Structure 1
């Protein structure tokens, strides 16, 4: 899994590329745990346009991280989901409580 970090208008944006599967899920969990710890009370946007596969453990990690951000009065926002990953969030109905936007620009405009 490849991770790129940047900051736009004081908001951290994390761009993920690759697959979230058994071989990468520990790395993914560590990444999101660190994001939650380092950005308490802040907003982080996770751009997932490069994620072509995600297993159920990946979904669980996203839910846990979302809860950590919310407990500390922060926001974790997802954007740029591929059609397959977007469908996964729709089928599990996670799109009803996790903020998901079509593009990075749209996510930034909602802050």
Structure 2
């Protein structure tokens, strides 16, 4: 899994590239756990444009990460989900409590206003 990190308007933007499946889910969890540690109390946009597949464990990892950010007075939002992955969030109704935006600029605008 590849990760690209940048900072825009005091918001960390993390772009993920790869697949979340049995062979990569531990790497995905470690990556998001480190993100929480490094970004406690901050706003983080996770750009999932490059995530082309995600299993149910990946959804669980995102939920866990979202809760950790909230517990540490931070905020994590998602953007650029492929339609198949967005469908997973809709079917499980996770899109009702995790902020999901269509693209990075929309997410940035929402979290900085």
TM range (shorter): over 0.9
Paired positions, count: 111
- Tell me, what secondary structure is at the counterpart of 1:69? helix
- Tell me, what secondary structure is at the counterpart of 1:46? strand
Alignment-derived partner of residue 70 in structure 2: 70
Aligned mates of 2:16, 2:78 — CA distance in 1: 11
Alignment-derived partner of residue 32 in structure 2: 32
Aligned mates of 1:6, 1:21 — CA distance in 2: 25
RMSD (Å), alpha carbons: 0.6
Aligned mates of 2:3, 2:72 — CA distance in 1: 24
The runs of 4+ residues in structure 1 deviating greater than 4 Å are none
Alignment-derived partner of residue 106 in structure 2: 106
Aligned mates of 1:108, 1:80 — CA distance in 2: 12
Unaligned residue ranges in structure 2 (runs of 5+): none
Cα deviation, residue 48, structure 1: 0.4
